[in-house]
């Protein structure tokens, strides 16, 4: 499955992850929750969460092969993550500033933090 995961990350252009396959696989294995989607046996989607299972869940990755995007795969992956961590106080996700992504995540019930006047995000990247 390791090769499939690397190929999936490459398929969506996430080479920052796939350039070091060993680290990518360790990250996936160390996640609190991983859900995958297959079509005809092929890995077409993956979502993974990092969480303390009480106060926070960080939806680290949600990716779907381009040919399967806009077919409900991403929505189902998101739904399964949200369901698994429905008892957790805060679900967090950071993503690129791209209109399609914002449209998808707001349709899933997430709020763009830029629209929130009471919370701030601090990041070291």
The larger pLDDT score, comparing residue 99 to residue 21, is at: 21
Q: What is the rounded average pLDDT of the residues 54-76? A: 95
Query: Which pLDDT score is estimated for 39?
Result: 96
- Domain of residue 46 covers 2-115
In the prediction, which pLDDT does 104 show?
Answer: 85
Instruction: Supply the pLDDT for residue 1.
Output: 76
Q: Identify the pLDDT of residue 101.
A: 81
- Do residues 44 and 37 make contact, with C-beta atoms less than 8 angstroms apart? yes
Residues 6+ apart with CB under 8 A from 38: 44
53, part of any domain: yes
In-domain check, residue 124: no
pLDDT reading at 64 higher than 80 = yes
Residues in a beta bridge with 48:
34, 61
pLDDT at 113: 79
pLDDT attached to residue 115: 75
pTM for this entry = 0.88
Average pLDDT over residues 45-52: 98
Query: What is the domain count for the chain?
Result: 1
Residue 65 lies in a domain: yes
In a domain, 125, yes or no: no
């Amino acid at each position: 499955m390791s090769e499939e995961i690397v190929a999936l990350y490459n398929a969506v252009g996430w080479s920052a992850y796939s350039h070091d396959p060993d680290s990518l696989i360790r990250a996936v294995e160390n996640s609190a929750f991983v859900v995958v989607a297959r079509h005809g046996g092929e890995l077409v989607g993956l979502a993974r969460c990092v969480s303390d299972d009480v106060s926070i869940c960080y939806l680290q990755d949600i990716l779907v092969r381009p040919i399967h995007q806009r077919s409900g795969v991403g929505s189902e992956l998101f739904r399964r993550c949200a369901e698994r961590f429905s008892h957790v106080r805060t679900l967090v996700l950071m993503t690129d500033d791209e209109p399609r992504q914002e449209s998808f995540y707001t349709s899933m019930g997430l709020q763009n933090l830029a629209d929130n006047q009471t919370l701030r995000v601090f990041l070291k990247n």
